[in-house]
Amino acid sequence: MKPIIMDFSGIYREENFLKEEEALWLDFRKLQGVNCYCTQEAEDEIKEKIYSLPFQGIHFLDSGNYHYLTKFWLEKIQKPFSLLVFDNHTDMQEAAFFGLLSCGSWAGEVLESHTFLSSMCAAGPPEKAFEEYHGPGREKLTCISREELSIKGENLFLEFLETNRDVPLYISIDKDVLREEDARTNWDQGVLSLEQLLKWLELAFEKRKILGVDICGENPPDTARPLSGEELKINSRTNRELLSFLKNK
């Protein structure tokens, strides 16, 4: 199955991890009302373009500004599933700007409204950010804070994976969960190493059936500050390693 590239900023055209890879490109570069927040008109157009595409497989979502796209893929799942999110932020804030879906609210909306979501694990945000979430989906949520990642994080992670092992899992990765040696994003970043992320992904594939995976966290082009060669090299390398790992699964 070809990876799906959702192109909003053009950044994937500057990276080289897809050079010899066949992929399905979806061009949204001219679509308005999509950066960080998604208008209803833009949502309708995006959903129309992905209508016939499966939630299975690998989806690249561009920068973290578009992490809300995960919600659209999850809406295609019509059977019980669990969600695993690696992110430096909870993405469970209350919707602002007239209730528009955003990169900061999508996970909370999925947690509270998806009929078939049985459980969710969010790994990477600081403990304080989790404390700010008081929504009704709390009982379905396993929190692994940034502070816990290297201490008891793996035990909490394994406990989540072992619970309801017969329920398949969808994985969403925002690379801002990674340290700067392994990713350069346009958001503040966490402390997870790519090596540790790959180890945890390996555990997820061992313990659960995986429905699909999406990846965001690119650093989009900015006319005020062009991307350096080092940034492109780091992000391309990490995308290449993630894609290679996932294709082998």
Tens digit of each residue's pLDDT (9 = 90 or more) over 96-131: 767 799 999 999 999 999 999 999 999 999 999 999
Name the DSSP class of 9.
S
Question: Is 35 in contact with 65 (CB distance < 8 Å)?
Answer: yes
Could you tell me the pTM of the whole model?
Answer: 0.96
Question: Is 82 in contact with 121 (CB distance < 8 Å)?
Answer: yes
State yes or no: pLDDT of 158 exceeds 70: yes
- Per-domain boundaries in the chain: 4-247
CATH classification for the domain delimited by 4-247, as one of 3.30.365.10, 1.20.58.220, 3.40.800.10, 2.60.40.3470: 3.40.800.10
pLDDT of residue 223: 58
Residues 6+ apart with CB under 8 A from 94: 105, 108
